[in-house]
Amino acid sequence: MNNLRPVGIIGTGKYVPEKILTNADLEKMVETNDEWIVSRTGIRERHIAAPDQATSDLCYEAAVKALASAGMTADQLDLIIIATVTPDTFFPSTACILQDKLGAKQAAAFDLSAACSGFVYGLATARNFISTGMYNNALVIGADCLSRITDYTDRNTCVLFGDGAGAVILGEVPEGRGFQSFDLGAEGAGGNLLKLEAGGSRMPSSTQTVEDKKHYIYMNGREVFKFAVRVMNTATEDVLKKAGKTKEDIDLFVPHQANIRIIQSAMERLNLSPDKCVVNVDKYANTSAASIPLALVEAAEQGRMKEGDCVLMVGFGGGLTWGASVLIW
Ligand code: ACO
């Protein structure tokens, strides 16, 4: 990215709904137990949106904090990108709904769909708008209300997901800082492994689709697991190479929080000590597009990054997709 403006993160904010659903709660809903969930996934609890909360409401709370941390007001925003697979409505986009709620009158706004990789896709998109000079700043949010598309009678999926939003403001940063590289990818052939079939133009919603539970997430967990372990490794290697870095340079590893075993397998490959890896899957479960920004923002709030640290984010998700980035904090 020579001759282009360096772009980095200049503000952060996060939000999770108040209500907590524990493994003990789930034991009363489906045939499962805390031991199975913790040993197979590392998840202990997840946050669930209130009935009157939609994705844009979670985004709003995170965005207000991110704006405050950047020392900005909403009317200064040039662009809003929301990565989500659970928008408030098909249209208007959740980004447009948020633009109105924030009063970000000058901002262009759109949603982006890349499931759990969506936040990294959003960062790359916004970085390019700013580095080329088209915009000076952008609000990028990863947010999902997966509870709204989860079948709470299906133990294969309902233990895995939670709701939340993580927001960052991107802007110009000093030379040598900010995003060093991105690696985005897709394997559309694996789309059937993780999907929500009904409600689109292929299969419009009907009483039949509801009866058949096609408005809920379907996932082939074992196959997604294999894909995840594979691409976490290849994407990490590729994004480090593009940045001219090695695994020894990583100060903080921020992986998608889907399953502790997937994270541990990546840590072993990278030979990373636990203090260099952000793990909060135990508290939030898999929050899809919100997962990486929730982990990143939480690490920032805990003071785990200092200026000049090399941060590596990597995620995978429906599509199938993956996304990774190397960032100098
Ligand atoms: N409680 C108790 N038993 C369960 C539960 C549960 N909640 N869920 C499944 N089981 C059972 C299964 O029925 C199966 O029983 P069987 O052998 O009699 O059929 C057994 O446990 C083992 O099932 P596996 O699928 O082999 O379990 P595995 O160790 O693979 O773990 C899991 C399953 C946790 C889903 C894992 O495969 C995984 O994490 N996959 C990746 C998921 C992921 O990362 N998805 C990201 C996508 S998110 C997005 O984009 C929205």
DSSP 168-197: EEEEE--TT-EEEEEEEEE-GGGGGGEE--
Spell out the domain ranges in the chain.
Answer: 7-176, 179-328
Does ligand 1 lie within 6 Å of residue 147's CB atom? no
Q: What is the per-residue pLDDT across 107-166, written as a single tens digit (0 to 9) for each? A: 999 999 999 999 999 999 999 999 999 999 999 999 999 999 999 999 999 999 999 999
List, by residue number, the catalytic residues: 116, 256, 286
Does ligand 1 lie within 6 Å of residue 115's CB atom? yes
The C-alpha atoms of residue 275 and residue 294 are separated, in whole angstroms, by: 17
The C-alpha atoms of residue 77 and residue 136 are separated, in whole angstroms, by: 8
80 closest CA partner among 17, 167, 178:
167
Nearest CA to ligand 1 atom 14: 156
Is 164 within 8 Å of 284 (Cβ atoms)? yes
Is 93 within 8 Å of 109 (Cβ atoms)? yes
Q: What is the per-residue pLDDT across 46-102, written as a single tens digit (0 to 9) for each? A: 999 999 999 999 999 999 999 999 999 999 999 999 999 999 999 999 999 999 999
pLDDT at 23: 98
Ligand 1 pocket mutation pick from 32, 40, 151 by most atoms within 8 angstroms of CB: 40
Gyration radius (Cα) of the chain, Å: 19
The C-alpha atoms of residue 286 and residue 267 are separated, in whole angstroms, by: 18
Q: What is the per-residue pLDDT across 283-297, written as a single tens digit (0 to 9) for each? A: 999 999 999 999 999
Using the mean position of ligand 1's atoms as its centre, give its distance from the Cα of residue 238 in Å.
29
For 73, the token pair is: 């007001």
Does ligand 1 lie within 6 Å of residue 258's CB atom? yes
Using the mean position of ligand 1's atoms as its centre, give its distance from the Cα of residue 286 in Å.
13
Does ligand 1 lie within 6 Å of residue 190's CB atom? no
Contacts of 268 (CB under 8 A, 6+ apart): none
The C-alpha atoms of residue 24 and residue 44 are separated, in whole angstroms, by: 9
The C-alpha atoms of residue 77 and residue 145 are separated, in whole angstroms, by: 25
Does ligand 1 lie within 6 Å of residue 285's CB atom? no
CATH: 3.40.47.10, 3.40.50.300, 3.90.79.10, 3.30.200.20. Which one for 179-328? Answer: 3.40.47.10
CATH: 1.10.8.100, 3.40.47.10, 2.60.40.1220, 3.40.50.300. Which one for 7-176? Answer: 3.40.47.10
Does ligand 1 lie within 6 Å of residue 113's CB atom? no
Using the mean position of ligand 1's atoms as its centre, give its distance from the Cα of residue 14 in Å.
28
- Strands, E assignment, 40-162: 45-48, 79-83, 108-112, 137-145
179-328 matches 7-176 in CATH topology: yes
pTM for the model stands at 0.96
Nearest CA to ligand 1 atom 1: 32
